Structure 1
Amino acid sequence: MRPSGFFEWLHEYVLARGIGGIVETVLALLAFGGTLSVLFGSSTIKAAAVVAAIIGILGLLITSTYGRAELRAENALLSELLRRNCEVAFRHMDNSLRINKIHAVNLVKDNGDGHSTITVVATALTDQINVFKIGSGSGWHQPESARRKVKIQVSSIDIDGIGGVRHTCTKHWRPDGKLEILTHLDRPMVPGSTISIVVQLFWPGKNTPLIKKRLPDTFSMKLQVPVEHLICEVILPPGFDAFYEPRVPSRRDFRYSHVRQARDTGHIAFRVDAWEVEPDQRVGILLDLKEPRSSASQVAPPPSVSSP
């Protein structure tokens, strides 16, 4: 519903003059009211000017809120239309891309935040590939207010000072709470060409179930195209440890390895490597935090006994 009357005029005025124009008008109104009150010795005039200024400020807040809501709805519609058109394009792009390697590193913060770095090396099998899609999700359904805090950056890989240039990307939240990221390449890929990109996700509260609620959580990946080598890695904050299980397809001939590493930095890391991953096969790690060991619960070692 569009504002009408005074608020419609104020909305158009803000668009034309900006916030600075409103501030200038309010200050001028207050100064004019103060001058009249001094000349005529009436505090009523000054009070009326203050009331008018307050009404103007309230109107500004209302029209600003309306403008933001309208813009947000329009952006959501454009994002949904873009996603639908890209989905149609992706259905016609089956077997057009081969993932040589994808390496996902999930850095878990002690406050439940997450920083994910996904490195992708892919080769084009057909021409006119100018969009690349990758998805990510968290272990709980986050509200809209939390989703807006997720920051994304996509860039090419920096090798010896060459690369590191950022790509344009758009995001879309699916009904199941998963985040889809569309990377728009500055020029289409040709058959045989290789692209190397890095996707960084700064995700507040992503690991809340694992860190805050101490519930088992899965870190995994599933792609719609074949992957030659997939690596899923999770790094816990210092002082945290976990039980873990690899999550891989149940095929007997499926090739994978897994390892738990204690690093010099105090972090415990878990890693799963998988090879020749087929489309729609999920690979990852299930973690369940161990209870922290307190000094009181630790059993003292028995005293040493020296032989006579």
Structure 2
Amino acid sequence: MTWNDRPLGTTGLRVTPLTVGGAPLGSMPKNFGYDVSEDQGVATARAALAGPIRALDTSSAYSAGESERRIGIALRELGGLSDGYLLSTKISRDLTTGDFSGAEMRRSIAGSLERLGLEQVPLVYLHDPENTTFEAATAPGGPLDVLRELKDSGVARAIGVAGGPTDLMARYLGTGHFDVLLTHNRWTLVNRNAGPLIDLAVDRGVGVVNAAVLGGGILATGTQGSDRYAYRPAAPEVLDAVRRIEDVATRAGVPLSTLATQFSTRDPRIATTVVGVSRPERIEQGVTAVTTPVEPGVFDEIDAIAASIPTDLLPA
């Protein structure tokens, strides 16, 4: 595959095939199983902001804002955000109280801008709206209204929705207010449940961002390194499918993580693929994963394996 940037839906923004996922660089050991020191996190953010991957995704909810704070340190060292670089963050509920009100969304973006040291962010998402009701999120003065105000005022050039359940995400796309969709854990080597949602987004001119293509780690390490998919124990049928895909990767002479990454980046519907990064050297490794040649037919074999997994065993 080639390393060319792509349009992000109809936003007018362009993005590289990969986006650096900023959750790990803030240190989230409960999710990823390891700590990341401040020095390592800032170094990773610096490499992300100055490297060939021209997009970085974070959230006010990642490590209680620590991911944004470390990115902000790197941004100040580098003299700010370079032209054309797609930095995205997310307004989110209070993780302690669960508050998902419009007022909380205002507090969330204010904290994000302060930590990042910016007045404007190219892309701002509404984060994990499955943690409130659709009715509350779309009520006058609620989270969606706040997000729209951010775009109208120029704080965000584009706005998106980032969440899990595909049926719910489709309802949000149906409002017609979102420029970008971020789906996670639901369009991977083993989980194809987001297919109709991605089609809906493309039909509406909404840019598609696909995240968590490594399934929380198992599609990078294989079953020897993890027995969990999407941060929860994987069903035996899913583990068996991953083992079979590991065999395909071995025969093809390609790392499993490369196949997991290219499954997404080769999809013409997907503008960019988010891969979490916690060490500077992972930046170049990500580019290699996208550009490594893969023999024709490998993904057809994987598709057949994925089709054998009952869909109700995976996040819908």
The answer to whether the superposition gives a TM-score over 0.5 is no
- TM-score calculated relative to the size of structure 2: 0.21
Higher-helix-fraction structure: 2
* TM value normalised by structure 1: 0.21
Structure 1 or 2: more strand by fraction: 1
Q: Between the two structures, name the one with larger relative contact order (CA 8 Å, sep ≥ 6).
A: 2
Structure label with greater radius of gyration:
1
